[in-house]
Amino acid sequence: MAVETQSTTEDLTDLPPEIVATLQAEPPHPDLELVERAKAGDTSAFEQLVRQYERQIFRTAQHITQNREDAEDITQDVFFKAFQKLDQFQGNSKFSTWLVRIAVNESLMRLRKRKTSKTVSMDQDVQTDEGSIPRDFAEWRPNPEQNYSQSELAEILRKTIAGLPPGFRTVFTLRDIENLSTEETAEALGLSVPAVKSRLLRARLQLRERLSRYFRKTKEGSK
């Protein structure tokens, strides 16, 4: 097997660079075929894409808006808009990143509608220094989440992330919960990579600080 690999590599060195680049390029993402079929009018292909990403889009919308009904409406709107604008998707980014970008815009728009007197944007409250410097240095219990029931823990996690400014909450959701790369997060949010890194650091530190109230070791060793 090792010999075969070596001979393939040697063969490639004899080929023109543009051919080598084509051969070494990553295979196209499977979504692209579904998108092309959907563009050609195959609604079952689009339904497959909805099936794949509805959970991610719903959770992203719910994390940003903190409202279940809004998240349901936004999920529908995101996929309907994506369907109508499929021709604008050129495949320069992942289809999922493109969808997330629509979801973030729709979610922020929903927040703006809810708070008519206040502007809501990715930049809201991010200039504050709150939480950028750790203050709590208490150690946590091992597996601290196991001291709470599933519903108690879910409530703690919801309450804690809800307290972050939307700009931090969104970056943490995409990067750490939905597992987008830093570059994909930057693309989805229209931010620079350094801006994503800076917001991610502060989001993580603020969440850590807030969760520490629940998870820190106590002298008695109890909840």
Binding site for another protein (CB under 8 A): 41, 43, 46-47, 50-51, 54-55, 58-59, 62-63, 68, 71-72, 75-76, 79-80, 83-84, 133-134, 137-140, 144-145, 150, 153-155, 157-158, 161, 172, 176-177, 179, 182, 197, 200-201, 204-205, 207-208, 211-212, 215
Residues with Cβ within 8 Å of residue 195, at least 6 apart in sequence: 186
CB of 173 to another protein, least distance (A): 9
Q: Which is nearer to another protein, 21 or 159 (CB)?
A: 159
**Run of H or E residues at 187:** helix 182-189
Q: Which is nearer to another protein, 95 or 172 (CB)?
A: 172
What's the burial of 5, exposed, middle or buried (CB within 10 Å: 0-12/13-18/19+)? Answer: exposed
CB of 187 to another protein, least distance (A): 16
From start to end of the chain, where are the E strands?
none
Q: Which is nearer to another protein, 37 or 204 (CB)?
A: 204
CB of 114 to another protein, least distance (A): 18
- DSSP letters spanning 98-141: HHHHHHHHHHHHHHHHHSTTS---TTTTTT--TTSS----PPBP
